Every structure is written in structure tokens, then in C-alpha cells.
Amino acid sequence: MHRNNRLISLLLSVSILLSSSFSGCSLIAKITETEKQEIPTLPPATTRATSTPTPSPTPTPDPDVEAKAEALETAGKYGIPEESLRGKYDLFRRYSNAIDTNGRLGDYVPYMYNLFPVIADHLKPENESYFLAKVNSLRITLGVISEKHSGEYSSSTNVVMMNRTYLTAENIPIESTIMHELMHFVDSHIDGPLEKASFTKENVYPIHDIPASDNSIIEHSDEAAFFMEAGAELYTAKYFMHYTWSYRSAVQFLTGMEYIFGSDLIDEAFFCHDSAWFLADLLQKNGFSIQEIWSFYTTMDCMTYKRLPSEEVLRPEDVLIRLYEKNMPGDYKTDKIFCHILRCINSKDFDFGHFPSANEEFLSSLMFSDEEAKNWTFAIFDQIEQFKYFQINGVPIAGIFLNGKYRLSGQIRLLDDSGEPYGPSEAALFDYDFETGTVNSFELYLTPLNEIKRPEIK
């Protein structure tokens, strides 16, 4: 039992650290006039684009043998496996050229190369020149920023600023922060410039696409910062880390959406240029009023940035329950995975105030006390031989979809005899049967980014 007590105190201390002093990053996503002017005219359709056969899951490999050889050589230098190039050798060469002629990326070049599969999976030919110009002008630098943030990204200046303090802290997985900020960079530019959503009394539009026929007054414009944060964190986990680190409520809301609507829809919603509208439109089509959507957006921003709401509250669990009832068969109350997702949304994010819910009674019946959370976690750990011999340090485990499968995941580090963590952060992934409470299988995942030499502090 001694092991358990020490372990849980570490678990809790990390969770407190996460919820109070270390809250991911600050995103400065202002959509400026300058950015709008940078929209290039669309290139004429090329032979390559028009001759592409109907889309298939496997991209057509570039026939250019030379491009392939050169791409593989460069990828090899950075330890990028061939599978990560997705068969897009020619795009990889152009991406590599945009990185190599940049000159403002410092020691972060290897991280940029590791980002390529995200780009290969989401960049459309018509956005390529716009996006590669952004790769070429990106700056990554160290700075003194708010102690609450490990890094920040500004889409208007195209600068990633890493927090000098956290970069020197050995116990912070900086690769997670770097990739989170780079995911903001990708999200901001991969589908052309970001657009806010504009809310009128009865409708919501992408800000640049308000029909001339609608003369109603715009009441709010919003970029849904909570969605940007949740998506950056979630996709950093999906591609690189396999655990999420911050913005738990918003990340778990997206996981709930993924459970109901599938991974492809969440992927499209996050990487498109008008995500704030995309999500609002989806909610409107599912029966939410404009006022409710606005309440939900402001509630989520308050949860994400730890503010007390000044407007009407609509909690993410309540939104998910309504979406479940409209789109899923059966009773959500007996769906154990869905209930687990609802439970994961509630976290230390709420310790500064209570957000009322239409499903108050049911939600409180789901919630774990600290003691119950401990017991539940240990009931999982105790099923695995390895966890009996090693002590593990990490954030509370939560669900994540990896390759379409729901896994419980947590960030862990091995501890030595004196209880000090050592070695890099890893993901512990559990294939868990919610019906029987048993672990079907278990794996530890160490991100290959760990191999990259940490950037120097100059």
C-alpha cells in the first residue's frame, strides 16, 4: 500500500501542477488585414491534379524516382520513417526546401521534419504555395513569456515562442509543447487563412462568407479558441505523444464528438480554415439555437482559460448528451465509454467555480471523488505485472481515440527507489473493457521525438 500512497501523491501533485501553474500555451490567433492580403491567387489546375484518379486511402506514389531517392535520403537524416512521407515525395522535397531556406528555425528543424505526416495528411494542392510560404517564414525562438505558458504561437507574426524557463526544466516533456505549438501553426495556415465565425441573432456564418441577402446585425465574432487549443493538444497526442497534457475539458469534449460522429469529421472540423463556423453549423443542424451555441462557446472558453463565465452557461457534457440522443442508438446512461468521457471532462479545471448543468444529478452520480479516482486507477494498474515492480508518475489517465480505437492513456515516468522520476515521459496505453473492468492489453509508448537533441539555451 505504501507504493500506492506515494504513487497517488505524485499523480495528484502533477495534476495540480497542470491545472494551476502549467496550462499549456497561449495562442495569439489574431486574424489581421495583412494576413488577408497574403492570400495568393489560386494556381491553375495542374496536369498532376487533374490526372489524379478518384481518391483512395493510399496516396498515389510520385513516379519521380529521383524525387523519391532525395526525399528518402533527407528523411533518413532526420529519422523520419518512409511511411511518414505518405508517398508524397515531391511535396516532401518542396517542404524540405522551405525549411532549409528559412534560417529562423534554429535547433527546431528536426521537429519541423517530424511534422510532415500531419501536413501530408491535410494539405490540399490548392493551398500548397500559401502554406509552404508560411513554412518558409516561420520563426521559432526562445523568450520570456507568462510563467503559466510553456510556449505560444502567434499566427499574425508567424512566431512560435518557447518559454525559456520550461525548456530548461528536465521534467517537462518539451517535445510535447513544441509539437503543440507547431500544431497551432499547421491549423492556422494549412487550409488557407483562418476565418472567425460571425453570429447574428438567428444564424452563424464564416466571417468572410456572409450572404449579401442577410442584413442582420452581427452580434459576436469568434474564433473558438477552445477548439484550437483542444485540437492542437489532441492531434499532438494522436500523431506524436499518445497522451494529452493540458486543456482536458476541451480535449475530452472533442473526444466525445469523435465518439459520436467519428474521427474523420473531427479531423475535418479542426484542420479546416473555418473551424469555429464548422462546429457551430454542426450544432445548429443538431437543433441547438444560436443563443445556445454562443453560450456553449463562451462556457468552453471560460473552462479553457479558467475564467468565471459572465454569460449563460452551457456545459460540454450537456451538449454531448443532446448530440448523443440525436445521433446514437440506445440510452447514453448505459453507454459506459460515453459515461467515461463525460466523467473525464470534469477535472481540476472546475476548482474555481461551479458551472451549472441541465443534467446535474446524473453528472454528479458519475463523478469520482479523489478517493474513488485513486481506487479506479489502482484497480487498472494492479492488473499489470509491470506496474507492480515499477513506480509510475503521470497525469490522471483519460480516454483518447488512437487509430479509431478508444484507449485509456496517461503520461508516465519511471521512478527510482527514492521516488524520483527518471527517464523520459512515456504514454501508458490501456485497452480497457468497461463492461468487466479488465485490462485486455497494455503498452508503453515512447515518442521517437525523444531522440531529438533538446534545443540549446543561448
b/e burial code for range 18-43 (CB count within 10 A of at least 16 → b): bbeebbbbbbebebeeebeeeeeeee
Nearest approach in angstroms of CB 267 to Zn ion is: 18
- CB-wise, 27 or 314, nearer to Zn ion? 27
Beta bridge partners of residue 140, listed in sequence order: 160
- CB-wise, 245 or 324, nearer to Zn ion? 245
**What does the alpha-carbon distance between residue 144 and residue 164 come to, in Å, rounded to a whole number?**
6
Tell me which residues touch Zn ion (CB under 5 A): 25, 27, 229, 232
Q: Tell me which residue of 153, 288, 278, 151 sits closest to 224, measured CA to CA.
A: 278
- CB-wise, 236 or 359, nearer to Zn ion? 236
Nearest approach in angstroms of CB 111 to Zn ion is: 15
Minimal CB distance to Zn ion: which residue? 25
Nearest approach in angstroms of CB 71 to Zn ion is: 30
**What does the alpha-carbon distance between residue 81 and residue 349 come to, in Å, rounded to a whole number?**
38
Measured CA distances, 324 to 227, 270, 319 (Å):
19, 20, 9
- CB-wise, 25 or 320, nearer to Zn ion? 25
Residue type, 248: R
- CB-wise, 25 or 135, nearer to Zn ion? 25
Measured CA distances, 366 to 275, 304, 315, 409 (Å):
31, 22, 15, 20
Nearest approach in angstroms of CB 152 to Zn ion is: 7
Nearest approach in angstroms of CB 145 to Zn ion is: 12
Nearest approach in angstroms of CB 394 to Zn ion is: 21
Nearest approach in angstroms of CB 114 to Zn ion is: 18
- CB-wise, 191 or 233, nearer to Zn ion? 233
Nearest approach in angstroms of CB 59 to Zn ion is: 29
- CB-wise, 27 or 140, nearer to Zn ion? 27
Residue type, 177: T
Nearest approach in angstroms of CB 390 to Zn ion is: 31
- Residue position matching grid coordinates 489517465: 397
Give the DSSP H/E element, type plus range, for residue 77. helix 65-77
Report the SS3 class of residue 434. coil
| CB-based contacts of 254, cutoff 8 Å, min separation 6 | 227, 230, 231, 234, 266, 270
- CB-wise, 303 or 429, nearer to Zn ion? 303
Note whether 125 and 101 are within 8 A (CB).
no
Measured CA distances, 52 to 47, 91, 125 (Å):
8, 15, 11
- CB-wise, 229 or 258, nearer to Zn ion? 229
Q: Tell me which residue of 40, 400, 370 sits closest to 244, measured CA to CA.
A: 400
